Amino acid sequence: MITNPITQTDFNFEGTKDVYRGKVRDIYNIQDNCLVMIASDRISAFDIVLPRAIPYKGQVLNQIASKMLKATEDIVPNWVTDVPDPNVTIGKRCEPFQIEMVIRGYLTGHAWREYKSGNRNLCGNIMPEGLNEHDKLPEPIITPTTKATEGHDEDISAEEIISQEIVSEEDYNILADYTKKLFQRGTEIAANQGLILVDTKYEFGKYEGQIYLIDEIHTPDSSRYFYTEGYEERQQNGEGQKQLSKEFVREWLMANGFQGKEGQIIPEMTDDFVEQVSNRYIELYEQITGESFNKGDYSEVMTRIENT
């Protein structure tokens, strides 16, 4: 396993006006016109960046996103203009909408935790009684969240988004339509590779008055996948689903007493666990794309990126 994953970048690209460092990506604003987005190997859970980075995770995210954005550009235009390096994407600097469009086809993760607690109204979607964890929903539901600059994103309904004028009703209806169509395409792509796209999120922005799809899509950081094979049998037997997502990292953290709450200590991430996470990300890349993963050269990775 490599010992020098990409934890942070500090480049001085010509024309850089400012740099935003998110949970995973370092984003360089070039002359308020384009963005250079570098996918680091940082990993976050419960909206907190964990202390150790995951080798090749950034490359996995960047390359899956690139493929998926290209596979959906007939549905909605996206921000990308070039992908010059395994960890780098360059594109239009859009003004983002301050919500994330989460869409769910199954009762899993956060939705299940809410349902299990007795909540039957999830972002304005009334859930039927009698559902079990990982059940397929009658139809996909959109459960938007706010985009928090600090702390946790919060669930919000379409009605609240519009009434609070976070997004206009006209634009929200367009975002909802794009979200449903993107999820349908993602579901079809996943099915061809023996996977179920369980839930995912999309982010949108505007550039010169037009709506664009931005950020990543259908990656293990933004999405959750089950294996199709054995899904029905495991549901009937009340067993957990075999899944490819970041959820297993959250489950490991919860099992070790951490849910991102104040006063809790992040458990130690051993070399073996870090390697396991790295392998899971690579597995998802190969499963969802149907292609072998070619590990990028990390020997002089910062020079490699800068020279692109």
Domain contains 3: no
Domain contains 119: yes
**Count of structural domains within the chain:** 1
**Domain, as residue range, for 165:** 96-245
The arithmetic mean of pLDDT across residues 265-282, rounded, is 92
Q: Answer whether residue 283 shows pLDDT above 90.
A: no
- Binned at pLDDT 50, 70 and 90, residue 152 comes out as low
- Say what the pLDDT of residue 88 is: 96
Domain contains 148: yes
Counting residues of the chain whose pLDDT is more than 70, the rounded percentage is 97
Distance of CA 105 to the CA centre of its chain: 16
Domain contains 147: yes
Domain contains 213: yes
- Say what the pLDDT of residue 2 is: 64
| pLDDT, tens digit, 9 for 90 and up, residues 60-108 | 999 999 999 999 999 999 999 999 999 999 999 999 999 999 999 999 9
CB 46 within 8 A of CB 253: yes
| pLDDT, tens digit, 9 for 90 and up, residues 1-47 | 566 899 999 999 999 999 999 889 999 999 999 999 999 999 999 88
The arithmetic mean of pLDDT across residues 149-174, rounded, is 90
- Binned at pLDDT 50, 70 and 90, residue 150 comes out as low
- Binned at pLDDT 50, 70 and 90, residue 247 comes out as confident
- Binned at pLDDT 50, 70 and 90, residue 125 comes out as very high
| pLDDT, tens digit, 9 for 90 and up, residues 163-215 | 999 999 999 999 999 999 999 999 999 999 999 999 999 999 999 999 999 99
Domain contains 84: no
Q: Domain containing 210 — which CATH number?
A: 3.30.470.20
Residue 202 and residue 219: Cα distance in Å, rounded?
11
The arithmetic mean of pLDDT across residues 223-252, rounded, is 91
Domain contains 268: no
